[in-house]
Amino acid sequence: MRSEIEQLLTGTARCCRVVSYEHLPSTNTTARELAKEGAPDGTVIIAHRQSAGRGRLQRTFFSPEGTGLYMSVIVRRELPATDALRLTTMAAVATAQAIEKMIGRKTGIKWVNDIYLDGKKVCGILTEGSILPGEKKLQYAVIGIGVNITPPEGGFPPEIAHIAGAILPSVDDAERARSSLAAGILNCLMTLLDRDDRNACLDEYRRRSILQNREITVHRADGSTSLATALDVDDDYRLLVRYEDGKEELLDSGEVSIKL
């Protein structure tokens, strides 16, 4: 897989170094370990299967063999610690662009880190970072991207079957599909990182947002929830919401779900 991906890289993404594994507990965990050891910007960890894939708020990410792309990218650049949220949104835009190019269909983004297709979640993104001691800059960030390329044999587990989807019903060559999608995401992501065009990326993000004026549930890290209406994404990628009592808040952390 490594050589196939690297052959498809273009522009500044050609500097990416891909490390491929058959199985890992979590690509993000391995990427963080390598980042601590000094792995350079653009180091990419890919696994055919994860046994302990993670999402936001310590949720698990279903990662069976042969049906998905499980990838983590090390970003080591001069960035303020507050840019962790922006890295997640840049990865969401890059992944959406790559999926759309691959399947020829439009996707949607649910703030802050999920890609949707036909009302189902097909991708989750988890960004984790390390801050330089005594400073307010990122030492490095790890962007984990998990995409369901095809449904698993027998379908998704019952607990996620109502929300999980895949970008394709089936593929003749799963390995080639994973390599093509991985390269497409890296090409888009590295372009966005190098251009660092906040307005252009924000426009792409807002254009794909599926939350505008929708009723949502806000989930916080302490387990509490609140009903609200999603109004907009501000210039710092925070989600503006209005609660039932009329109070408005800009969210820069936590999770939201669409009220069904």
Tell me which CATH code domain 215-258 carries. Answer: 2.30.30.100
Look at strands 225-233 and 215-219 and give their pairing.
antiparallel
CA–CA distances in Å: residue 73 to residues 42, 66, 105:
6, 20, 25
Specify the 3-state DSSP secondary structure of 117.
strand
pLDDT in tens, the chain (260 residues): 788 999 999 999 999 999 999 989 899 999 999 999 999 999 999 998 887 655 554 455 565 677 899 999 999 998 888 788 889 999 999 999 999 999 999 999 999 889 999 999 999 999 999 987 777 888 999 999 999 999 988 888 888 888 999 999 998 888 899 999 999 999 999 999 998 788 889 999 999 999 999 999 999 888 899 999 999 999 999 999 999 999 999 998 888 998 65
Work out the number of other CB atoms within 10 angstroms of the CB of residue 29.
Answer: 19
Q: Fold identical between 2-208 and 215-258? A: no
Nearest 5 degrees, angle CA 90-CA 91-CA 92?
90
Describe the strand order of the beta sheet including 120-131 as a list of residue ranges. Answer: 17-24, 43-50, 68-75, 138-148, 120-131, 114-117, 108-110
Which CATH superfamily does the domain covering 2-208 fall into?
Bira Bifunctional Protein; Domain 2 (3.30.930.10)
Domain spans in the chain, listed from the N-terminal domain onward: 2-208, 215-258
